[in-house]
């Protein structure tokens, strides 16, 4: 079976793995990413980690997942907040030249979506829309086993789509943006105001709802409605076979996936109703998804 290298490069840590084409992780090595010490230090560190992979000669390619939008044609990050100096840096070219292996770079949410589409909950479906429901809200569109990144690498960045006219301006997002309405961060902020100032996680809201707390139940109902609004906007554009939802909040999927679907069905054309809403399956979608980049490009 073919093997590939997947790299999960973040602002704190760098992890490099040898992965089979069906998503099995064979070896992982890791180290601090040295993100604040400059591009040369980060790249030297990555190369050293790659050299620790056993059977390096036999791998067919290298994929890198990074925290920010990517120009996938040039293989460069177009914004690199957590990796200073890497904006427009030829990361893929440098790794490819060093190891003589085809190398690809993409956003970490995109590679997670690719992993779920190829070897996870979306396996076997033609059009997969992957969404992260965690501290933030993100997404990735995968069609025929390939990520659709868009002209500037922002395709799938659905957290800024407006789902309500209410709310406040937070950071770079629109007023009423999905991430500011039903992300884990937004839910906790609202729960501290409406339920208990000591709440620190979305799970506490679901626990209260299970106990019958009416305000918590309403919060979840509202969240599911706004989530469905976002999904209906996506659905009217791409009409996916399956929505795969990952992230920490989605661990409580039993409380709200059915509500999303019910609302979704009321918001879309009759012929679009009842797509699958599935919980993401993979425990390491980032590093597996990075490894799937060469597999995807080789299809």
> Given this model, what pLDDT does residue 68 score?
86
> Given this model, what pLDDT does residue 73 score?
86
> Given this model, what pLDDT does residue 167 score?
84
**Fold of the domain built from segment(s) 125-279:** Nucleotidyltransferase; domain 5 (3.30.420)
Rounded distance, CA 98 to CA 218, Å? 55
Rounded distance, CA 206 to CA 219, Å? 9
Domain boundaries, the chain: 3-113+284-297, 125-279
Q: Is the pLDDT of residue 154 over 90?
A: no
Tell me the average pLDDT across 35-54. 97
Counting residues of the chain whose pLDDT is more than 90, the rounded percentage is 89
> Given this model, what pLDDT does residue 145 score?
95
> Given this model, what pLDDT does residue 170 score?
82
Rounded distance, CA 22 to CA 178, Å? 33
Q: How far is CA 117 from CA 61, 105, 120, 160, 214, in A?
A: 19, 17, 6, 23, 37
Tell me the average pLDDT across 203-223. 97
> Given this model, what pLDDT does residue 168 score?
83
> Given this model, what pLDDT does residue 204 score?
97
pLDDT tens readout for residues 237-284: 999 999 999 999 999 999 999 999 999 999 999 999 999 999 999 999
**Fold of the domain built from segment(s) 3-113+284-297:** Nucleotidyltransferase; domain 5 (3.30.420)
Phi/psi of residue 106, nearest 5 degrees: -155, 165
State the average pLDDT for the chain. 95
Q: Is the pLDDT of residue 181 over 60?
A: yes
> Given this model, what pLDDT does residue 81 score?
84
Tell me the average pLDDT across 169-173. 84
Q: Is the pLDDT of residue 89 over 90?
A: yes
pLDDT tens readout for residues 194-208: 999 999 999 999 999
Pair 140, 130: CB distance under 8 Å: yes
pLDDT tens readout for residues 118-150: 999 999 999 999 999 999 999 999 999 999 988
Structural tokens at position 17: 């793995």
């Amino acid at each position: 079976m073919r093997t590939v290298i997947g790299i999960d490069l973040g602002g704190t840590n760098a992890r490099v793995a040898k992965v089979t084409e069906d998503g099995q992780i064979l070896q992982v090595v890791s180290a601090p990413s040295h993100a604040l010490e400059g591009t040369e230090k980060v790249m030297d560190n990555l190369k050293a980690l790659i050299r620790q992979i056993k059977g390096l000669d036999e791998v067919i390619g290298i994929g890198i997942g990074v925290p920010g939008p990517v120009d996938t044609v040039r293989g460069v990050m177009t914004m690199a907040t957590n990796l200073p100096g890497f904006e427009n840096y030829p990361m893929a070219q440098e790794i490819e030249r060093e190891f003589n292996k085809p190398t690809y770079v993409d956003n970490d949410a995109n590679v997670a979506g690719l992993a779920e589409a190829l070897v996870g909950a979306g396996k076997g479906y033609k059009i997969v829309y992957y969404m992260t429901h965690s501290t933030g809200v993100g997404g990735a569109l995968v069609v025929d086993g390939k990520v659709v990144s868009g002209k500037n690498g922002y395709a799938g960045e659905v957290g800024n789509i407006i789902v309500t006219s209410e709310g406040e301006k937070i950071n770079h997002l629109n007023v009423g943006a999905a991430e500011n309405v039903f992300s884990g961060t937004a839910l906790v902020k609202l729960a501290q105001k409406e339920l208990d100032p000591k709440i620190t996680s979305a799970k506490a809201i679901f626990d209260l709802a299970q106990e019958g707390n009416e305000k918590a139940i309403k919060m979840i109902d509202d969240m599911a409605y706004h989530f469905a609004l976002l999904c209906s906007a996506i659905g009217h554009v791409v009409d996916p076979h399956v929505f795969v939802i990952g992230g920490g909040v989605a661990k409580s999927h039993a409380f709200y996936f059915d509500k999303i679907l019910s609302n979704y069905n009321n918001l879309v054309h009759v012929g679009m109703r009842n797509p699958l809403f599935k919980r993401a399956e993979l425990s390491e979608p980032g590093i597996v998804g990075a490894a799937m980049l060469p597999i995807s490009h080789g299809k």
